[in-house]
Structure 1
């Protein structure tokens, strides 16, 4: 069988999050906080829009790049948060992870060097490796539970030989978020080296910063779209999953550079054809409704997430030996327990013996070893408190 599976694929580790989750799926006693999704369902109006589409019989293929009306609505949404982005720079994808994969396929050849800011969701670094690219990892550094970027360390790692920089901010799993000054330094440096920036900004709305730091009066975290010129070597990947409670819908989008010749979008259309052909029409109809609700829905979701974040952190801080800090963005508390260095073993034991489902830090690369990720996107705050009680019991507290 070794001749059947490509060597670059065979060398990739399986998801450690799934390894833990598979041990607890189907057990009603388990409090599951391992995946990055809320316990709230998609808004009713969004579900009804998709159902109406199905009732109308919209079960056929659509354009590779997405419905024109969705791309137009998305253009208005993105432009309201950031600098104007024309619909001709947007492509609808079947999930945010598909947007990342298409970006990698657009830019990378086998043997290319890629720099990635880590720890990070493992798919982001695995995709270049699947394509035969080489990933150079630059780690964030923890201090009292908060993760920080050494900007100079990152800039030193990016050279003219670096084809692309991969950066996810707000970050999964740490919650770390780029500042505007850091973004500008990175953009300026990548312009000098000719390096592409692939920015995964799926958590941009799930952020608790200020208007001075972020985009559009504080409604979103700092984005490269705020400072980049339309022709810059920048690809932004996005998703409807997090900000609109649409994880199971598998719908995302790409923002590509302005290209008067249309070659970038033409290439993206080819890749979308080869990967998935197109996103389902009924899902796109739901996304249209989600965008129409954005101004009233997203702020309420962010407020509920903050309540979950603060409830969880308050509980964790009562436990001795826990190192944790408030994440400025995202869905997760990333923490470590003093003396517990094997995160996978600890996560498995928490599931098996205490009915608590967390993601091991090792799932996000060796830089996350010794840490655990807890998704606090729970409307039921008592559920979070019960989870803290179970963790305390597991630690003998």
Structure 2
């Protein structure tokens, strides 16, 4: 073999892959987390995950199900008992009558989003996503051949976020197929008021568009009991898909259990999508999910109360720092803090990890509209929130 051949660069192993796969982005949250995830001294606020363990009554339910032999395949739409529990859960919290045959159990909220994108999008179809946004939304769209079109939230002088309906309408084109709403929002904490939800529903009806409503953080609201759901204002025939997960409410991020709600008549479609995506999620996890739904309202209240206290600690502490603008979010469990000075968000996140031993997510992880911001997860103990404020103040307060 010649020296030239020996020194030739290796061929790009992705060269033969479809452009939509080659173009899938790398998570900036992961870039930061990879530098500090194994450091026990880091206060880790980068991932959308609380610091509480899954409650024992859910864990024990999974153990009982395994011991009882519930370790075999289940129907791809989910166990009938779980779908009945989901129907009862929605009736209890939103006073809506959604029959069990309109639910599909998924491998977490991410798989719910992916199945929705697979069901709704042809290659080249556009989907409107308010931004900054959870990055997985846009990447799921790209994987399925769709085109994400971002509409920037407006940032108010006090640091709060707004999303005028006119901005969404201005982004529509003949290729628009789906409107995404994530309320309460990750990462902004914005929550869509019910009158604006009705207006968006009417726009979707008039234009023949679908609404994909990501309602994962509905319980995490401050000053009200629960966020409104599109299920409260839409009929069973509206072009609406609602996605949700067990991850946040019941501290079950690693269990990979979620669900979606679809219009009447689409059960066979999502049965097939579930079959060819995952076959089903583990049967014993589904039994545990029933118990989470039926017995877990108290745990949710504890989580939300804890988040409310830590939110107040972080907002109060960070607001005192020079050049930092942060507002109390209406919902979810994230702060988007704007830090003046022109430092790139990714560089700032690396610096805070290095100098303050606090792990935050760079704002640009959620789209270019997040430049200048960092996101902090406050689903943590109040004591840890105080420690994070102390460490960040030592660096940002200079």
| Bin of the TM-score, shorter chain as denominator length | over 0.9
Distance 2:41 2:53 in 1: 21
Q: Tell me the equivalent position of 2:153.
A: 140
Cα offset, 1:118, TM superposition:
1.2
Q: Tell me the equivalent position of 2:70.
A: 58
- Asked if 1:49 corresponds to 2:61, the answer is yes
CA contact (8 A) 1:160 1:195 kept: no
Tell me which moved more, 368-377 or 313-322: 313-322
Distance 2:53 2:302 in 1: 14
Gaps of 5+ in 1: 211-218
Q: Tell me the equivalent position of 1:350.
A: 352
Distance 1:298 1:25 in 2: 27
Extract structure 1 runs of 4+ deviating beyond 6 A: none
Superposed CA RMSD in Å reads: 1.3
Q: For residues 133-282 of structure 1, what are the structure 2 equivalents within 5 Å?
A: 133-143=146-156, 144-159=158-173, 161-210=175-224, 219-259=225-265, 264-282=266-284
Cα offset, 1:159, TM superposition:
4.7
Distance 2:354 2:274 in 1: 41
Report the TM-score, using the length of structure 2 for normalisation: 0.94
Aligned CA distance change for structure 1 residues 92 and 195 (closer, same or farther; 3 Å): same
- Asked if 1:98 corresponds to 2:111, the answer is yes
CA contact (8 A) 1:190 1:196 kept: yes
Distance 2:373 2:195 in 1: 28
Q: What SS class does the counterpart of residue 374 from structure 1 fall into?
A: strand
Q: Tell me the equivalent position of 2:7.
A: none
Cα offset, 1:346, TM superposition:
0.7
CA contact (8 A) 2:124 2:175 kept: no
Q: Tell me the equivalent position of 2:133.
A: 120
Task: Summarize deviations over 1:163-193 as a string: whole Å, max 9, x none.
Answer: 1111211000000010011101100010000
CA contact (8 A) 2:322 2:396 kept: no
CA contact (8 A) 1:30 1:356 kept: yes
Match for residue 108 of structure 1 among 121, 139, 147: 121
CA contact (8 A) 1:141 1:148 kept: yes
Match for residue 5 of structure 1 among 14, 17, 24: 17
CA contact (8 A) 2:62 2:284 kept: yes
Q: Tell me the equivalent position of 1:216.
A: none
Distance 2:89 2:172 in 1: 32
- Asked if 1:387 corresponds to 2:393, the answer is no
Match for residue 373 of structure 1 among 363, 372, 375: 375
Tell me which moved more, 273-282 or 186-195: 273-282
Q: What SS class does the counterpart of residue 23 from structure 1 fall into?
A: helix
Q: What SS class does the counterpart of residue 272 from structure 2 fall into?
A: helix
Distance 2:65 2:112 in 1: 24
Q: What SS class does the counterpart of residue 110 from structure 1 fall into?
A: coil
CA contact (8 A) 1:75 1:86 kept: yes
Cα offset, 1:288, TM superposition:
0.8
Q: Tell me the equivalent position of 1:299.
A: 301
Distance 2:236 2:170 in 1: 26
Report the TM-score, using the length of structure 1 for normalisation: 0.94
- Asked if 1:334 corresponds to 2:336, the answer is yes
Q: Tell me the equivalent position of 1:309.
A: 311
CA contact (8 A) 1:340 1:346 kept: no
Q: Tell me the equivalent position of 1:214.
A: none
CA contact (8 A) 2:336 2:374 kept: yes
Q: For residues 51-90 of structure 1, what are the structure 2 equivalents within 5 Å?
A: 51-82=63-94, 83-90=96-103
CA contact (8 A) 2:74 2:280 kept: yes
Q: What SS class does the counterpart of residue 36 from structure 2 fall into?
A: coil
Task: Summarize deviations over 1:184-238 as a string: whole Å, max 9, x none.
Answer: 110001000000000101001111243xxxxxxxx32011111011110000000
How many residue pairs align between the two structures?
A: 384
- Asked if 1:32 corresponds to 2:44, the answer is yes
Distance 1:334 1:231 in 2: 36
Task: Summarize deviations over 1:297-339 as a string: whole Å, max 9, x none.
Answer: 2222211110111111111122121100000000101111111
Task: Summarize deviations over 1:25-63 as a string: whole Å, max 9, x none.
Answer: 111111101011110011110010011111222211111
Distance 1:255 1:2 in 2: 36
Cα offset, 1:396, TM superposition:
4.8
Q: What SS class does the counterpart of residue 280 from structure 2 fall into?
A: coil
Distance 2:279 2:144 in 1: 20
CA contact (8 A) 1:50 1:285 kept: yes
